């Protein structure tokens, strides 16, 4: 009887010890690392806490644990190994499936990495995962960048930048090679001296304070990685993604729906005049009204925000994922990652909260062998998947935080002070952000289209089986 109780106590001790170990690894490692084994997981904890190399820890830990197991448990060492073998996968499998604990699995087929900021030698972007054989025209790419470059009108910063793109890799004879594409744009007109007087102050509306809180160090010369200039890489990537979408019959159109209180009603849209006014509004009359309102704000040493609307036409039904990688969720995340964006809505968005089900539902009907909708309150998505109708999203852009009007703030020493920001800044960032929103939507759409190629067996057959009769 005593032996039975002792064995049960040993077994419970083993389970308890393994549970503590699993929880410790989950707490320190799961957000950043993929657990590949027991000793490796503990080695990652040791590296994160004490800087011990993983290889050295594993080389010492495994033999020591084997000897310790034989000495303490003797014949029951086999039981320990058996329990551990089943316990670790069970616990880690549970944590892996818990929402909110991200694993470093790269589910995206199209990877985009940007580098650089407002001050520095250059800004660059690398796109990996694009298929080979797509024609790339550098002038078409440049046309995208020209839509966001400074100095376009009196409502943009006076900073003089050509923003000329240079292709470094991934393109040969005008076509993608299937290898990573890298694009670089050199900074030419940077003025670090504009920030010398305010380098010790936290600018209201900027990320100065939060960067200090996170990193303990920051580059005070402009916004750095939170600067609007960071979006150059996004636009270069979006230009290439838009080219692919165009080949697939998918078109993205973005424009300024509102500047401050001046909003263009949908009934008065004229898409043909979007590029005929400096604010990129789909109505020339409202563009003139918004320009007058902007001039008044500039005289008052203030700035304005607005709303950018982006529509995607030609997207086939069924693109997206039903849970975490929903089409609307990925679009919202991509657009919200733009520095000045404070809100995103799809379709009717927040207006849907005030509607009834009978009003909000889009009735279906059949025509010419296809399924269509009478209305589009959903904005082109249902259950996280495209429904074949126009996708509509809107982004709320905050006013430019750099204003010359004096404001209250705090310096790096915690002292109250006042600040007036001088230099070259946009009184409104909305017009230059239009192409950025369009670009992020294009990159997101291409990535989900590529992921959708493997969801059905017949899709793979069309690619790889030459003798399949369609």
Pick the range with the lowest mean pLDDT from 188-197, 232-241, 345-354.
Answer: 188-197
The string of pLDDT tens digits covering residues 113-146 is: 988 876 778 888 999 999 999 999 999 999 999 9
Note every long-range contact of 195-202, with CB atoms under 8 Å and residues 24 or more positions apart, other chains counting: 195/220, 195/221, 195/222, 195/423, 197/422, 198/419, 198/421, 200/411, 200/412, 200/413, 201/409, 201/410, 201/411, 201/412, 201/417, 201/419, 202/409, 202/410, 202/411, 202/412
Helix, strand, coil percent content, the chain, rounded in steps of 5: 45, 20, 35
Does residue 399 sit in helix, strand or coil?
Answer: coil
How many Å apart are CA 456 and CA 126, to the nearest integer?
30
* Cross-strand pairs, 256: 308
pLDDT tens profile 8-63: 666 565 555 555 455 544 444 444 333 344 455 555 556 556 666 655 665 666 56
CB 338 within 8 A of CB 436: yes
What span, in angstroms and rounded, lies between the C-alpha atoms of 378 and 370?
A: 18
Q: Are 458 and 261 in contact (CB under 8 A)?
A: no
Residue 39's pLDDT is 52
Closest CA to 176 of 123, 127, 139: 127
The pair of three-digit structure tokens given for residue 123, joined into one six-digit string? 């800004």
Top mean-pLDDT range of 210-219, 220-229, 254-263, 411-420 = 254-263
How far apart are the C-alpha atoms of 148 and 455, rounded to whole Å? 37
**Which residue in 460, 466, 446 sits closest to 109, CA to CA?**
446
Cα gap 128→182, rounded to integer Å: 9
Q: How far is CA 191 from each of CA 142, 220, 224, 254, 275, rounded to the nearest angstrom?
A: 24, 12, 13, 31, 30
Cβ-based neighbour number of residue 464 at 10 Å? 8
The neighbouring-strand residues paired with 258 are 263, 307
Eight-class DSSP state of 37: -
Q: Which of 393, 250, 399, 264 is nearest to 335 (CA)?
A: 393
What pLDDT does 34 receive? 38
């Amino acid at each position: 009887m005593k032996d039975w109780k002792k064995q049960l106590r040993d077994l419970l001790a083993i389970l308890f010890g393994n549970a503590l170990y699993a929880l410790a690894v989950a707490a320190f490692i799961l957000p950043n690392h993929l657990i590949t084994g027991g000793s490796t997981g503990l080695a990652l904890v040791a590296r994160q806490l004490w800087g011990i190399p993983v290889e050295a820890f594993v080389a010492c830990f495994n033999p020591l644990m084997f000897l310790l197991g034989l000495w303490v448990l003797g014949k029951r060492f086999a039981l320990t190994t058996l329990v551990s073998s089943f316990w670790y996968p069970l616990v880690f499998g549970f944590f892996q499936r818990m929402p909110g604990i991200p694993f470093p699995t790269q589910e995206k087929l199209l990877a985009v990495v940007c580098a650089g900021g407002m001050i520095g030698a250059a800004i660059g972007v690398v796109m990996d995962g694009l298929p080979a054989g797509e024609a790339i025209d550098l002038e078409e790419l440049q046309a995208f960048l020209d839509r966001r470059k400074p100095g376009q009108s009196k409502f943009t910063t006076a900073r003089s930048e050509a923003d000329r793109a240079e292709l470094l890799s991934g393109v040969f004879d005008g076509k993608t090679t299937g290898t990573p594409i890298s694009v670089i744009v050199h900074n030419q007109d940077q003025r670090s001296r504009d920030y010398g007087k305010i380098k010790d102050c936290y600018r209201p509306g900027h990320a100065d304070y939060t960067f200090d809180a996170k990193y303990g160090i920051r580059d005070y010369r402009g916004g750095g990685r939170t600067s609007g200039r960071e979006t150059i890489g996004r636009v270069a990537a979006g230009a290439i993604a838009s080219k692919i979408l165009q080949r697939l019959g998918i078109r993205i159109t973005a424009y300024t729906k509102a500047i401050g209180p001046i909003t263009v009603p949908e009934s008065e849209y004229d898409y043909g005049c979007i590029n005929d006014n400096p604010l990129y509004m789909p109505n020339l009359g409202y563009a003139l009204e918004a320009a007058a309102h902007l001039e008044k704000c500039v005289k008052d040493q203030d700035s304005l925000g607005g709303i950018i609307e982006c529509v995607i036409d030609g997207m086939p039904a069924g693109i997206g994922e039903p849970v975490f990688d929903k089409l609307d969720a990925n679009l919202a995340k991509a657009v919200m990652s733009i520095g000045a964006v404070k809100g995103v809505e799809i379709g009717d968005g927040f207006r849907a909260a005030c509607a009834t089900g009978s009003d909000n539902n889009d009735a279906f009907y059949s025509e010419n062998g296809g399924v269509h909708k009478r209305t589009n309150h959903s904005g082109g998505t249902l259950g996280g998947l495209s429904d074949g109708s126009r996708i509509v999203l809107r982004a709320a852009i905050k006013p430019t935080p750099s204003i010359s009007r004096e404001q209250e703030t705090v310096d790096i020493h915690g002292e109250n002070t006042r600040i007036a920001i001088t230099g070259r800044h946009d009184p409104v960032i909305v017009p230059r952000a239009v192409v950025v929103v369009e670009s992020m939507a294009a990159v997101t759409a291409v990535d989900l289209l590529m992921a959708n190629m493997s969801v059905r067996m017949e899709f793979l057959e069309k690619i790889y089986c030459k003798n399949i009769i369609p």
